[in-house]
Structure 1
Amino acid sequence: MTGGFTDDDLREVLPRLRRFALSLTHDLANADDLVQACMERALSRAAGRRADGDLRAWLFSILYRCFLDSQRRSKRYARILDFFSGAPEPLAPSAEDVAIARAALGDLARLSADQQSLLLLVSVEGLGYQEAADVLDIPIGTVMSRLSRARKALRDLSEGHAPSKPALRLMK
């Protein structure tokens, strides 16, 4: 047991970390690299972890920080990889299911990276607002307002509307 957690605790959260990393990187190999970097950082900093803190939120926070670090290092690459490229298909879905999923992923991809990350943390990974706020290092009120705007933007996109731009007043 290191830092208040065991190997079994890490194994339990590993698939969720990998899924979140895949949603951030859109590439299986890069997602695995990101999870590995997260685990290395977590194990090297385990002694500094608060024992009463949530392990899952702490690991998601480390993974997200590793992702941001890698994005800063690779700004010279402007092309975004296809969402889940190279991910194996577990079952043969119907053509209609494929079309709906592609449309949903396309709509999700049109959102900003901040909106995507927040939606994935709360809606897919099941983190609470406070946990998502801790992971993204923003206030909980900001999480709630950004999540509301992200859901509205996703709803507008799925209904075929252009994403609405906030109305700004010109001030002199």
Structure 2
Amino acid sequence: MAIDRRELADLIPALRRFSRAMVAERAAADDMVQDCLLLALDREAQFRGPALKPWVFAILANLGRARYRALKAAPPMDAFDECADGGGDPALRLTVVMALEGLPAEQRKVLLLVAVEGFSYREVADMLALPVGTVMSRLWRARRLLAERMQAGTPIALRRVK
């Protein structure tokens, strides 16, 4: 099945956000997105459709996992500058970013994919090669830890996507 180039291009901002959550340096994160796009185009024949987004995110997640193993380093969190629209209370935004930084990498990754990027549990499980139950438990733990780390019990609005 052929890949719609426009749909692929529309995914770039979301891919960059996710990549920057996995990689410290912005240039390295952008390189990883570029590698992901090149791999997607190179492996176009393997795309079985109809959902391009989960397939491309799976490629990026695999690249991130390979890079993480190669570098033996935890992904930093300066990527969350890209996740907010820039509006709202700066103090609350800083609190959320700091709380997210404190999450274990595997929980943070699942939380980002479900709550920020809007993937279903099944899609995240397929992308990360995990059982759906593991995705659900990591997401539950991430939400619980995030709530605990928010100052003064400030709630954070994370939509539930199943």
- Structure 1 unmatched runs, 5+: 162-172
Equivalent in 109, 117, 121 of residue 129 of structure 1 = 121
C-alpha displacement of 1:12: 1.6
Aligned counterpart for 1:116 among listed residues 108, 111, 123:
108
Contact 2:21/2:76, CA 8 A, preserved across alignment:
no
- Asked if 1:71 is matched to 2:68, the reply is yes
* RMSD, aligned α-carbons: 2.6
> How many correspondences in the alignment?
152
Question: Pick from 100, 104, 107: which aligns with 2:99?
Answer: 107
Specify whether residues 79 and 146 from structure 1 end up closer, same or farther in structure 2 by C-alpha distance, changes over 3 A only.
Answer: closer
Query: Which has the higher mean CA deviation after the structures are superposed, 78-87 or 128-137?
Result: 78-87
Could you tell me the percent identity over the aligned residues? 37
Paired position in structure 2 for 1:166: none
Aligned partners of 1:27 and 1:85 also within 8 Å: no
Task: Select 2:141's aligned residue among 141, 149, 157.
Answer: 149
Distance across 1 between alignment mates of 2:64 and 2:75: 14
Q: Distance in 1 between matches of 2:58 and 2:76?
A: 23
2:66 is paired with a residue of what secondary structure?
helix
Q: Distance in 2 between matches of 1:132 and 1:80?
A: 18
Matched, 1:40 2:35: no
Using the alignment, how far apart are the partners of 1:13 and 1:40 within structure 2?
A: 13
Q: Which moved further from structure 2: 151-160 or 28-37? A: 151-160
Q: TM-score, normalised on structure 1?
A: 0.77
2:15 matched to which residue of 1?
Answer: 17
In terms of fraction of residues, the more helix-rich structure is 2
CA contact (8 A) 1:13 1:56 kept: yes
Q: Distance in 1 between matches of 2:47 and 2:144?
A: 36
| Alignment partners' CA distance in 1, 2:142 and 2:76 | 22
**Which residue in 1 is equivalent to 2:59?**
62
Alpha-carbon deviation of 1:47? 0.8
For 1:126 and 1:158, locate their aligned partners in 2 and report how far apart those are by CA, in whole Å: 22
CA change 1:109–1:121 in 2 (3 A) is same
Which protein is bigger by CA-based radius of gyration? 1
Query: Which consecutive unaligned segments of at least 5 residues does structure 2 have?
Result: 154-162
